[in-house]
């Protein structure tokens, strides 16, 4: 009996201790002081001083001109500003530039704000802007995007005026300048630290500055008190690196993080139905196409290419795999991109597909192989498509490769049938269709002079209506050439705790988080 | 003994040389171009060629290996292609997490496996033996990622006792240690059981019992001590394995360890990081194996005597 009592006491003590330990910081502690913040024209008390977000990968660098991963852009968005910003309707708004004008076919003159400080306390001048644009045209990771700009000729007019030059008339120039790659960096800091050093300790003008980067674990940003715009509404932004998508979801559900930039499709319904969480879904700039390479003999005949498309029930594939987080592609780039026209989606016609194959000399079908950089979602979609292709006699082997090998195969021109999942971060069709141009080392290899010609025309056309007309023709031509199978426009899906308000949705998947407010 | 250790240390040099040749050759012939990975899809061929030249990727196999081993001998393991940070800095910042996880997992494994294995052997074919065999079977056959997710769902999501991921306090280490520890325990449990069953059949156990020694001392002092050799061998191997980083646990629990670093480096074709990490792992393996061998001599004095005679 005595032993039983002792056992009961031990159990009770264990329970109490366990209960105490369960209050460990699953969620960041609310600030005792809180902070007064101004947002949406009212003064609100922010209940917390810290926002914890999850990013999927650790960026190799935070230098805006020397990195190419989405998780880096998501952090950079909080640390840097660009000359102009683009709103959700595609309008350009002043940011570091107060105003701008096109002074000739290849020159845009920007008048800069005079009250902008970098995180190192230095004042931003036209020389920093000139340096940043030139840098964007020289560092390979951004030079490929900024190839239309003439960094050498971009010139300082006075301390707060700069002439940005393009090599040729370039209608999409502002779209490019509004991306994180067009961020303005401190010339002094970039030169002092060197390329690698600046990537690890970047200096921008944004509402947050880098405080600490714990390799493999988290990046900690701190409110920049001398920010020129609306100051951040809380003190610290922590970006935790959580590679596993389902763990990111569970961290949000258990309170370990407050905000997710993307929701795992498999967890979406659960998160959506959780009363403590909020999801916001909207169209993104991302499209997924399956590319039929013109270097593969079987795809040189348009009838075969068309049969490949007609065999598929794209809406059914998208509904099954992407659910609410995707819409069947109705063009070769997303409907958020400038000049998009709705043409599709592809309508399945199995009989027509069989007929076309027979006419092309493949009455019994043929075998081919699709390769792609590993992606569980694409793999799931391809497995459904594989059955549909088999129904018309096309035997498709699905071979996921690691990204490096896939890129190598593309460069060597040996990919017969590949995949492109592309985010048009600029929102400009010239960028969206970059891999359709002749000479591009991708899986498409269209090498079609008519596409090149239309792209050159679209790039140079400054009249809005005429430019849209060119891209309409281009989209229809690309669609009807059947060089690719347009599959899905995936959606942006943010998820966050219901204690967050004042979140501003961004289709770019890189929202500005500085104005978030926590309720009690 | 000192002579033996010195001999083993010298043989390690040969092992390291072999490892360096092997890893360099494997990476050299692995498809995937680091320059293309760094510069992305939209880079021009000129830009890629220029970067390949800068990284020395267009040099011959011999030139590249010579440069690598020459720098390594000077203590320079190179700079990461991706971050531009010295590789040593990257690895040393990750290794403590991996060591901590390996030690905690091994501790969990030992606490679970050895008592259960011993009890299993003592009560062979009884309820406790059957139970521990079932536990062992589950542990070894349950995929680690699934086990990790189940633990997170139960302890983080449902009970809200423990955090799901990260490493910001002692409580963060419990789920990852148990994920690896349970898996490790299943092998050690089976070895402990088998080894104890063998030992318990020996005449000296019968003698000890006949002399009236208490059963507890018979099991711990006489049986377990003699059964420890295979257990320590497996434990050493599993610990060495854990030191190479558990990719699955590190990825799921978002721990900044060596395993995750290596996998990311392989994906990005960040050769200097891969080479240096594999080097560090091979050193760890060799040191642990040596430690296990030395431990044998303390567990079983006969081995010490054999070494002395040699």
Start-to-end Cα distance in chain A: 49
Pair type for strands A417-423 and A277-292: antiparallel
Structure confidence at residue A44 (pLDDT): 55
| CA separation for the pair B87, A229 (Å, rounded) | 39
The residue-averaged pLDDT of B256-262 equals 89
Q: Please report, in tens digits, the pLDDT of each residue of chain A (520 residues total).
A: 444 444 444 444 433 333 333 333 333 333 333 333 333 334 456 788 999 999 999 998 999 999 888 999 999 999 999 999 999 888 999 999 999 999 999 999 999 999 999 999 999 999 999 999 999 999 988 988 898 999 999 999 999 999 999 999 999 999 999 999 999 999 999 999 999 899 999 999 999 999 999 988 999 999 999 999 999 999 999 999 998 899 999 999 999 999 999 998 889 999 999 999 999 999 999 999 999 998 888 999 999 999 999 999 999 999 999 999 999 999 999 999 999 999 989 999 999 999 999 999 999 999 999 999 989 899 999 999 999 999 999 999 999 998 889 988 888 888 999 999 999 999 999 999 988 998 887 888 888 999 999 999 999 998 999 999 999 999 999 999 999 999 999 999 999 999 999 999 999 999 999 999 998 7
Chain B residues closer than 8 Å to A141 by CB: 38-40, 43
Tokens of B297: 């001599």
A326: part of which helix (H) or strand (E)?
strand A326-328
- Give B111-131 pLDDT, tens digit per residue: 999 999 999 999 999 999 999
Is A256 an interface residue toward B (CB < 8 Å)?
A: yes
In angstroms, how far is the first alpha carbon of chain B from the final one? 10
φ, ψ of residue A432 to 5 degrees: the values are -60, -35
DSSP A68-90: --HHHHHHHHHH---SEEE-TTS
Query: Among residues 79-108 of chain B, which lie with CB inside 8 Å of chain A?
Result: 79-80, 82-85, 90, 93-94, 97
Interatomic CA distance for residues A79 and A63, integer angstroms:
10
Distances (CA, A) of A40 to A274, A318, A357: 27, 38, 60
Task: Please give the CATH topology (third level) of the domain spanning B87-309.
Answer: MetI-like fold (1.10.3720)
Closest A-chain CA to B163: A26
Which residue reads 């002692």 in tokens? Answer: B170
Q: Give the torsion through C-alpha atoms of A54, A55, A61, A67, to 10 deg.
A: -150
Task: Please name which of A240, A243, A223, A244 lies closest in space to residue A232, comparing C-alpha atoms.
Answer: A223
Tokens of B293: 């061998």
What is the Rg, in whole angstroms, of the alpha carbon atoms belonging to chain A?
26
Token duo for residue B271: 């050769």
Q: With H, G, I as helix, E, B as strand and everything else as coil, classify residue B96.
A: helix
Burial class (CB in 10 A: 0-12, 13-18, 19+), A434: buried
The two structure tokens encoding residue B163:
């955090």
Q: Strand, coil or helix: what is A502?
A: coil
Q: For residue B161, which residues of chain A lie inside 8 Å, CB to CB?
A: 18, 21-22
Within a 10 A sphere around the Cβ of A242, how many other Cβ atoms? 30
Give dist(CA A238, CA A222) in Å, integer.
9
Counts for chain A of helices (H) and strands (E), in that order: 16, 21
Interchain pair B164, A435: CB under 8 A: no
User: Nearest CA of chain A to the CA of B233: how many Å?
Assistant: 32
Residue B259 CA to residue B218 CA, distance in Å, equals 42
Residue where the block lists tokens 């490493």: B167
Q: Are A196 and B83 within 8 A, CB to CB?
A: yes
- As given in the structure block, the two tokens for residue B58 are 């267009």
Mutual angle of helices B174-200 and B87-122, in 10-degree steps = 40
User: What percentage of chain B's residues is helix, strand, coil (to nearest 5)?
Assistant: 80, 0, 20
Task: Give contacts of B162 with chain A, Cβ < 8 Å.
Answer: 24
What is the 3 state secondary structure string of A453-494? HHHHHHHHCCCHHHHHHHHHHHHHHHHHHCCEEEEEEEEEEE
From-to residues of CATH 1.10.3720.10 in chain B: 87-309
A327 bridge partner residues: A489
| A147-178 burial: b if 16+ Cβ within 10 Å, else e | ebbbbeebebeeebebbbbbeeebbbbbbbbb
Quick one: closest CA in A to B51, which residue? A140
Nearest to A196 among B36, B84, B149 (CB): B84
Among A140, A197, A199, whose Cβ lies nearest the Cβ of B51? A140
Q: Are A69 and A317 in contact (CB under 8 A)?
A: no
Give every CB contact of residue B266 below 8 A, 6+ residues apart in sequence: B274
pLDDT tens-digit map of B55-114: 888 889 999 899 888 888 888 888 898 888 889 888 888 999 999 999 999 999 999 999
Half-sphere exposure of residue A256: CA atoms within 13 angstroms, side-chain side: 28
Residues A402, B107: Cα–Cα separation, whole Å: 36
B52 touches chain A (CB under 8 A): no
A143 contacts in B (CB within 8 Å)? 43, 47
d(CA A368, CA A291): 13
Model confidence, pTM: 0.85
- Does residue A145 sit at the B interface (CB-CB below 8 Å)? yes
Cα dihedral A35/A40/A41/A46 (nearest 10)? -10
Which tokens sit at A213? 């980067």
ipTM at complex level: 0.82
**Could you write out the DSSP letters of every residue in B150-182?**
HHHIIIIIIS--S-SS--SSGGGGHHHHHHHHH
Chain A residues near residue B254 by CB distance under 8 angstroms: 217, 240-244, 247
Tokens at A35, concatenated: 């902070």
Q: Could you say which DSSP state residue A30 is in?
A: P
Compute the distance between CA of residue A316 and CA of residue B135 in angstroms, rounded to an integer: 43
Q: Which residue is closest to A431 within chain B, CA to CA?
A: B42
């Amino acid at each position: 009996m005595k032993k039983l009592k002792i056992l009961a006491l031990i159990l009770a003590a264990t329970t109490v201790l366990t209960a105490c330990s369960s209050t460990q910081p699953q969620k960041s502690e609310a600030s005792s002081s809180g902070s007064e913040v101004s947002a949406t024209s009212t003064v609100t008390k922010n209940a917390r001083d810290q926002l914890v977000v999850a990013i999927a990968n650790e960026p190799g660098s935070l230098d805006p001109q020397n990195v190419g991963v989405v998780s880096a852009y998501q952090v950079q968005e909080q640390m840097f500003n660009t000359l102009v910003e683009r709103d959700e309707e595609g309008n350009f708004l002043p940011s570091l530039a107060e105003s701008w004008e096109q002074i000739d076919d290849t020159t845009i003159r920007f008048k800069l704000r005079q009250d902008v400080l970098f995180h190192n306390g230095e004042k931003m001048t036209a020389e920093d802007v000139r340096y940043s644009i030139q840098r964007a045209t020289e560092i390979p990771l951004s030079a490929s995007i900024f190839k239309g700009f003439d960094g050498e000729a971009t010139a300082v007019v006075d301390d707060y005026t700069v002439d940005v030059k393009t090599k040729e008339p370039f209608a999409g120039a502002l779209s490019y300048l509004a991306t994180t790659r067009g961020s303005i960096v401190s010339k002094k800091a970039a030169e002092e630290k060197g390329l690698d050093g600046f990537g690890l300790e970047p200096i921008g003008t944004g509402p947050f500055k880098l405080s600490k980067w714990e390799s493999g674990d988290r990046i900690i940003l701190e409110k920049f008190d001398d920010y020129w715009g609306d100051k951040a509404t809380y003190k610290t932004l922590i970006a935790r690196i959580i590679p596993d998508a389902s763990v990111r979801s569970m961290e949000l559900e258990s309170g370990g993080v407050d905000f997710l930039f993307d929701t795992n499709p498999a967890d979406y319904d659960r998160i959506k139905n959780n009363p403590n969480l909020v999801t916001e879904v909207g169209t993104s700039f991302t499209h997924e196409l399956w590319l039929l390479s013109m270097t593969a003999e079987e795809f040189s005949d348009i009838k075969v290419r068309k049969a490949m498309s007609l065999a598929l029930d794209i809406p059914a594939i998208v509904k099954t795999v992407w659910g609410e987080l995707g819409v069947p592609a109705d063009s070769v780039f997303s409907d958020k991109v400038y000049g998009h026209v709705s043409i599709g989606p592809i309508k399945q016609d199995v009989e027509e597909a069989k007929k076309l194959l027979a006419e092309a000399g493949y009455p019994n079908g043929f075998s081919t192989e699709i390769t792609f950089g590993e992606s569980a979602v694409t793999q799931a979609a391809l497995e459904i498509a594989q059955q549909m292709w088999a129904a018309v006699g096309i035997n498709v082997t699905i071979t996921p490769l690691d990204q490096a090998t896939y890129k190598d195969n593309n460069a060597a021109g040996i990919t017969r049938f590949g995949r492109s999942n592309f985010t048009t971060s600029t929102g400009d069709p010239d960028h969206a269709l970059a891999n359709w141009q002749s000479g591009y080392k991708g899986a498409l290899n269209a090498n079609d002079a008519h596409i090149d010609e239309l792209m050159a025309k679209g790039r140079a056309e400054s009249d809005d209506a005429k430019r849209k007309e060119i891209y309409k023709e281009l989209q229809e031509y690309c669609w009807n050439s059947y060089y690719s199978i347009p599959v899905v426009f995936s959606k942006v899906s943010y998820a966050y705790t219901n204690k967050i308000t004042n979140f501003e949705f961004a289709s770019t998947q890189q929202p500005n988080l500085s104005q978030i407010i926590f309720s009690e | 003994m000192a002579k033996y250790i010195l001999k083993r240390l010298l043989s390690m040099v040969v092992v390291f040389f072999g490892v360096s040749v092997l890893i360099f050759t494997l990476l050299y012939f692995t498809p995937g171009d680091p320059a293309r990975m760094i510069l992305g899809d939209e880079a021009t061929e000129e830009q890629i060629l220029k970067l390949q030249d800068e990284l020395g990727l267009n040099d011959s196999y011999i030139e590249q290996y010579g440069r690598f081993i020459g720098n390594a001998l000077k203590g320079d393991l190179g700079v990461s292609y991706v971050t531009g940070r010295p590789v040593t800095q990257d690895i040393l910042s990750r290794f403590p997490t991996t060591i901590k996880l390996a030690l905690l997992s091994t501790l969990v494994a030992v606490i679970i496996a050895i008592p259960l294995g011993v009890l299993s052997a003592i009560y062979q074919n009884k309820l406790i033996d059957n139970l521990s065999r079932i536990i062992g079977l589950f542990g070894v056959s349950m995929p680690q990622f699934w086990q990790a997710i189940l633990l997170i769902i139960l302890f983080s999501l449902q009970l809200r006792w423990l955090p799901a991921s990260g490493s910001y306090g002692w409580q963060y280490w419990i789920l990852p240690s148990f994920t690896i520890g349970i898996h490790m325990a299943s092998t050690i449990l089976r070895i402990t059981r088998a080894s104890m069953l063998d030992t318990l059949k020996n005449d000296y156990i019968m003698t000890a019992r006949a002399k009236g020694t208490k059963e507890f001392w018979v099991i711990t002092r006489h049986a377990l001590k003699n059964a420890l050799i295979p257990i320590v061998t497996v434990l050493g191997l599993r610990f060495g394995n854990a030191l190479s980083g558990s990719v699955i646990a590190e990825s799921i629990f978002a721990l900044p360890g060596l395993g995750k670093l290596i996998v990311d480096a392989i994906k990005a074709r960040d050769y200097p990081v891969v080479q240096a990490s594999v080097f560090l792992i091979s050193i760890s393996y060799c040191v642990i194996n040596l430690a296990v061998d030395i431990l044998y001599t303390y567990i079983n004095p006969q081995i010490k005597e054999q070494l002395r005679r040699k």
